[in-house]
Structure 1
Amino acid sequence: MTAHMIALIYADDFSWIPEYSAHVPQIVRKYGGDYNFTSGGPVEVVEGDLPVPSGVGTFDFPSREAIMNFLNAEEYQPFIELRNRHSKTQILIFDGKSA
């Protein structure tokens, strides 16, 4: 079953993004994922009390297991460290079921 991942990024400095973006999409694809959409532009919370992220990424994977394999992949670890040096990130995963 398709699983989805949303990354909410909170950062003041996006100078690290070019290096991250040059490598991470290929790693995502290696684990069966699609790097669907990322935005570093203005994000607006229109309902609820969610802190406003400075960036959002959405991803589709074949399963939750594939997401976890990607997140735990050895080749991805340096990019987690890079991202965490410059931002705070919240990651959500959920199954793709019809309502």
Structure 2
Amino acid sequence: MSAHMIAMLYAEDFSWIGEYSANVPQIVRKYGGDYDFVSAGIIERPEGEMPIPTGIGTFIFPSREAIRDFLNSEEYRPYVELRNRHSKTEILIFDGRSD
């Protein structure tokens, strides 16, 4: 069963995103993931009270284990540090539908 990851990014300065975006997609693919960064415009919240992120990344991986392997990989670590220096991120992992 596939697993999905959503990363909600909260940042004011995106000067670092070019380096991140140039390198992270190939690391995601190494762990079997597909990277689809969705933040090309205004994000709306028609219901609820959660803070509106400045960017949202959506990903699909073959499994939760593959997501955890990616998140904890040596290759990704420098980009986690880069991202965390400039933003706050909330990450959710969940299983895909089996039908």
TM-score (norm 1): 0.95
Query: Which segment drifts farther, 70-79 or 33-42?
Result: 33-42
5+ residue gaps, structure 2, are: none
Aligned to 2:15: 15
Query: What is the alpha-carbon distance in structure 2 between the residues aligned to residue 37 and residue 81 of structure 1?
Result: 19
Aligned to 1:25: 25
Moved over 3 A (4+): none
| 2:91 alignment partner, SS class | strand
Post-superposition CA distance 1:1-59 (Å, at most 9, x none)? 10000000000011110000010000000000000232153211111011000000000
TM-score (norm 2): 0.95
CA RMSD of aligned residues (A): 1.3
Post-superposition CA distance 1:36-89 (Å, at most 9, x none)? 232153211111011000000000000000000000000100000000000000
Where in structure 2 are the equivalents of 1:84-99 lying within 5 Å? 84-97=84-97
Aligned to 2:34: 34
Amino acid at match of 1:19: E
Query: What is the alpha-carbon distance in structure 1 between the residues aligned to residue 40 and residue 90 of structure 2?
Result: 15
5+ residue gaps, structure 1, are: none
Q: Aligned residues: percent identity?
A: 72
Query: What is the alpha-carbon distance in structure 2 between the residues aligned to residue 25 and residue 64 of structure 1?
Result: 18
